C-alpha cells in the first residue's frame, strides 16, 4: 500500500522539477534576447565606427590631394608654364605618393601641358565634368569615380584669371588596399561606392565580396541621403542571402562634389556568435541541472525536498510578514501624523482609507469612519460634484491633477482652501482602480492673499484719487508704483507702460541724470526730504512748481529698498 503512494509522490516531485525548469527556460530566453540585442547594438557601433574610420582615412587622402595641388600651384616651375620643367617636378613627386595614379597640369582649353605619366597621344580634359567645374567656378573639384578619380585645382594669375588647371588622378585601388589593412572584424566587408551605390572597390575578411560595378544592398538608402551627404545604416540580406548589418559614411564629410561613400557590413550570425554560444551553454547547464534534479527527486527527494521546501516557505513567509508589517507601520505612521489630508478612493469615489488629519477636518474621531462614504457625505453638493467629475476624468485618462487650488465648503458651512494633487490609483497590473490624493490646508494663506489684495485695492483707490503726484522707485531707479496723477503728468495711459522704466526712458539725458543723482543722494543718506520747493519738468519740457517729498523706505531687514516720492502742485506755472 505504501509503494503506490511513494511512487505517486515521486511523480509529483518530478513534475515539480519539470515545472521549475519552465521559468528557467523563460529566464534563459529573456537573457538570450537581451544579450542578442546588446550584441547587435555593439556590432552596429563597430560597423558604424569602421565605416566612419575608413571614410575619415579616405577623406584625409582627398584633402591631402587638395593640399598637394595647392602647394604645386605656388611652385615657380608650375606657374612659369614651362612644360619641361613642370613635367620634371611632377615626375619627381609621383613616386612619393603611391595612392596617386598621375599628376598633371592642363591649359584652360583642356589640353594637358605636363604629366607625371607619359601618354601616347595628346590628352584633352575639357569634356570632363570636374574640369568644367574648375574652369567655371575656379574652385577645387572632384570628378566622377571609376577605377580612378580626378581631382582638379585652379591656378589663378596675378590678374585673377584662370591660367592653368592642376589635377591629380586618385587610384581607387589604393583606397581598397588600405581598407583591407583595417579589418579587425572577422567576416566584415568594406566597400567604396559612389552616390548611386555602385561598387568601385571592395575588400573582405572572410565575408561576401561584391563585384566591382554591382550595387550594394544599401544603395537605396545611400541615394536617399546623397543630396545632403548623410550617413546611415540598416539590417538586410546580401546577394548570397546572408543577413548582415550595414553602415555607410560619406567620404569628405559635408564637402560638396565628393560623391563617394564607404560602406561596412558584418553578418548578423557573427555578431550573435557570442550570445548564441552563451545560450547554448545555458541550455546545456539547465539540462544537466534538470536531470540531476529529476534523479534527486526520484531517488531521494521525498524527504529532502519537502523539508527544504517547508523551511524555505516558512522563512519567506516570515520575511514577507515582516515586510508587510513594516510597510503597514510606515503607512500608519504617515497617515496618523502628517498634517495634510491623504485619502484613497475606489472608482465610485468611495473612501478606502484616510489620514487622521482628513478625518479631523470632517469632524470624525477615527479615520475608519470615512470608509465607504463619499465627498457627498462631507461637502456641499456643488463641491462634491466638481470633485467627483475631476476624479472620473483622472480614472478615464490616467492623467493626474497636480497643485490645484480648491475652495470647498463642508456640510456644516465651513469654508476652506486647499492645494490638492490627485493621482490615478493602479493595481499590480497597471489598471486604474480608483484615485488617491493629498490636500494641504492653505485657508490662512488665501485669507492673507485676499486681505493683501484688498489693501492693495484700497491703496490704489486712495492714491489714484489724490490730486498730488505719487510714485515709488526701487534702488535702481525703476518705477514700481504710481498713481493716476503721475501718469497724467507724464501723459502715459496705463500702469504697464511705466512699470520697470526709469527717468532715462522718459526725460532728456541731462535732466534724467540730475533727477537720478538727486534720488541716489537721498537713498545714500537714508534720510527723507520733506516739502522741498522745486521745479518739476514734464515730458514736453513744461515746468511747474511743486512741494517735493522723497522718503526712503526699508525692507524687513531695515535696508533701504527704494524711494517714495510725493509732489504737491503749487499754483501757477513758469
- In this structure, whether the domain defined by 466-573 belongs to CATH 3.30.450.20 is answered with yes
Query: What is d(CA 476, CA 200) in angstroms, rounded to the nearest whole number?
Result: 71
Burial of 468 (C-beta count, 10 Å sphere; 0-12/13-18/19+): middle
Query: What is d(CA 337, CA 509) in angstroms, rounded to the nearest whole number?
Result: 63
Cell digits of residue 243: 543577413
Burial of 423 (C-beta count, 10 Å sphere; 0-12/13-18/19+): middle
Helical residues (DSSP H) of 213-355, grouped into ranges: 219-226, 268-271, 273-299, 301-337
Cell digits of residue 556: 524687513
What is the predicted pLDDT for the residue at 433?
Answer: 93
CB 210 within 8 Å of CB 242: no
What is the predicted pLDDT for the residue at 227?
Answer: 60
* Coarse DSSP helix, strand, coil percentages of the chain, rounded to the nearest 5 percent: 45, 30, 25
HEC profile of 90-147 = HHHHHCCCCCEEEEEEECCCCEEEEECCCCCCCCECCCCHHHHHHHHHCCCEEEEECC
DSSP label of 449: H
Query: What is d(CA 152, CA 124) in angstroms, rounded to the nearest whole number?
Result: 14
- Structurally, at CATH architecture level, domain 174-272 sits in 2-Layer Sandwich (3.30)
What is the predicted pLDDT for the residue at 1?
Answer: 43
Left (φ > 0), alpha (ψ -120 to 50) or beta: where does 404 sit?
beta
Query: What is d(CA 271, CA 281) in angstroms, rounded to the nearest whole number?
Result: 17
Q: Which residues of the chain have pLDDT under 50?
A: 1-4, 573-574
**pLDDT, mean over the chain:** 81
What is the predicted pLDDT for the residue at 573?
Answer: 45
- Nearest partner of 109 among 91, 99, 96, 122, judged by Cα: 122
| CA-to-CA dists, residue 399 to 234, 390, 394, 420, angstroms | 37, 11, 5, 14
Equal fold, 61-168 vs 338-444: yes
What is the predicted pLDDT for the residue at 3?
Answer: 47
Q: Which CATH class is domain 61-168?
A: alpha beta
Kindly give, in sequence order, each residue whose CB lies less than 8 Å from that of residue 527, ignoring residues fewer than 6 positions away.
552
Strand locations in 305-460 (E): 341-346, 351-354, 401-409, 415-426, 432-441
What is the predicted pLDDT for the residue at 537?
Answer: 78
What's the pTM value of the predicted model, to 2 decimals? 0.43
Cell digits of residue 513: 541724470
What is the predicted pLDDT for the residue at 176?
Answer: 67
Separation of first and last alpha carbons in the chain: 130
The domain ranges of the chain are: 2-30+279-315, 61-168, 174-272, 338-444, 466-573
CB 266 within 8 Å of CB 185: yes
Options 3.90.230.10, 3.30.450.20, 3.30.460.20, 1.10.274.30; CATH for 338-444 is 3.30.450.20
Query: What is d(CA 7, CA 93) in angstroms, rounded to the nearest whole number?
Result: 92
Query: What is d(CA 446, CA 167) in angstroms, rounded to the nearest whole number?
Result: 82
Amino acid at each position: 500500500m505504501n509503494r503506490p503512494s511513494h511512487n505517486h509522490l515521486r511523480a509529483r516531485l518530478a513534475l515539480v522539477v519539470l515545472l521549475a525548469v519552465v521559468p528557467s527556460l523563460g529566464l534563459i530566453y529573456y537573457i538570450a534576447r537581451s544579450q542578442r540585442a546588446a550584441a547587435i547594438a555593439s556590432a552596429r557601433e563597430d560597423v558604424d565606427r569602421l565605416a566612419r574610420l575608413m571614410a575619415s582615412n579616405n577623406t584625409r587622402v582627398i584633402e591631402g590631394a587638395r593640399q598637394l595641388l595647392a602647394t604645386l600651384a605656388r611652385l615657380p616651375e608650375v606657374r612659369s608654364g614651362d612644360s619641361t620643367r613642370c613635367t620634371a617636378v611632377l615626375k619627381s613627386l609621383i613616386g612619393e605618393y603611391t595612392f596617386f595614379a598621375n599628376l598633371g597640369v592642363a591649359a584652360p582649353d583642356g589640353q594637358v601641358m605636363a604629366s607625371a605619366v607619359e601618354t601616347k597621344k595628346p590628352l584633352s580634359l575639357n569634356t570632363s565634368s570636374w574640369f568644367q567645374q574648375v574652369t567655371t567656378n575656379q574652385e577645387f573639384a572632384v570628378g566622377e569615380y571609376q577605377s580612378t578619380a580626378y581631382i582638379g585645382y585652379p591656378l589663378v594669375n596675378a590678374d585673377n584669371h584662370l591660367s592653368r588647371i592642376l589635377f591629380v588622378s586618385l587610384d581607387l585601388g589604393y583606397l581598397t588596399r588600405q581598407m583591407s589593412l583595417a579589418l579587425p572584424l572577422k567576416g566584415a566587408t568594406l566597400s567604396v561606392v559612389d552616390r548611386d551605390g555602385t561598387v568601385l572597390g571592395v575588400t573582405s575578411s572572410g565575408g561576401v565580396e561584391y563585384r566591382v560595378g554591382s550595387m550594394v544592398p544599401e544603395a537605396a538608402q545611400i541615394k536617399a541621403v546623397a543630396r545632403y551627404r548623410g550617413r546611415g545604416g540598416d539590417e538586410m540580406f546580401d546577394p548570397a542571402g546572408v543577413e548582415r548589418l550595414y553602415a555607410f559614411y560619406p567620404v569628405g564629410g559635408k564637402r560638396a562634389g565628393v560623391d563617394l561613400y564607404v560602406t561596412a557590413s558584418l553578418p548578423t550570425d557573427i555578431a550573435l556568435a557570442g550570445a548564441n554560444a552563451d545560450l547554448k551553454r545555458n541550455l546545456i547547464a539547465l539540462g544537466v541541472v534538470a536531470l540531476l534534479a529529476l534523479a534527486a527527486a526520484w531517488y531521494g527527494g521525498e524527504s529532502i525536498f519537502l523539508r527544504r521546501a517547508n523551511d524555505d516557505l516558512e522563512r519567506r513567509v516570515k520575511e514577507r510578514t515582516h515586510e508587510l508589517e513594516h510597510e503597514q507601520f510606515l503607512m500608519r505612521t504617515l497617515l496618523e501624523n502628517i498634517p495634510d489630508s491623504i485619502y484613497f478612493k475606489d472608482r465610485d469615489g468611495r473612501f478606502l482609507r484616510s489620514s487622521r488629519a482628513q478625518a479631523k477636518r470632517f469632524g470624525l474621531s477615527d479615520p475608519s469612519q470615512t470608509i465607504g462614504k463619499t465627498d457627498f457625505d462631507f461637502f456641499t453638493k456643488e463641491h462634491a460634484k466638481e470633485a467627483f467629475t475631476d476624479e472620473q476624468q483622472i480614472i478615464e485618462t490616467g492623467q493626474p491633477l497636480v497643485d490645484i487650488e480648491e475652495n470647498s465648503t463642508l456640510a456644516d458651512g465651513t469654508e476652506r482652501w486647499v492645494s490638492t494633487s490627485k493621482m490615478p490609483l493602479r493595481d499590480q497590473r497597471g489598471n486604474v482602480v480608483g484615485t488617491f490624493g493629498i490636500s494641504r490646508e492653505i485657508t490662512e494663506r488665501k485669507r492673507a492673499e485676499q486681505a493683501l489684495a484688498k489693501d492693495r485695492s484700497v491703496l490704489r483707490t486712495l492714491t489714484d484719487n489724490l490730486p498730488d503726484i505719487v510714485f515709488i522707485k526701487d534702488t535702481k531707479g525703476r518705477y514700481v508704483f504710481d498713481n493716476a496723477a503721475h501718469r497724467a503728468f507724464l501723459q502715459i495711459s496705463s500702469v504697464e507702460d511705466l512699470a520697470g522704466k526709469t527717468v532715462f526712458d522718459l526725460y532728456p539725458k541731462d535732466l534724467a541724470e540730475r533727477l537720478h543723482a538727486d534720488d541716489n543722494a537721498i537713498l545714500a543718506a537714508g534720510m527723507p526730504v520733506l516739502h522741498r520747493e522745486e521745479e518739476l519738468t514734464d515730458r514736453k519740457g513744461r515746468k511747474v512748481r511743486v512741494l517735493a517729498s522723497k522718503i526712503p523706505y526699508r525692507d524687513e531687514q531695515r535696508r533701504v529698498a527704494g524711494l517714495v516720492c510725493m509732489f504737491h502742485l503749487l499754483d501757477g506755472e513758469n
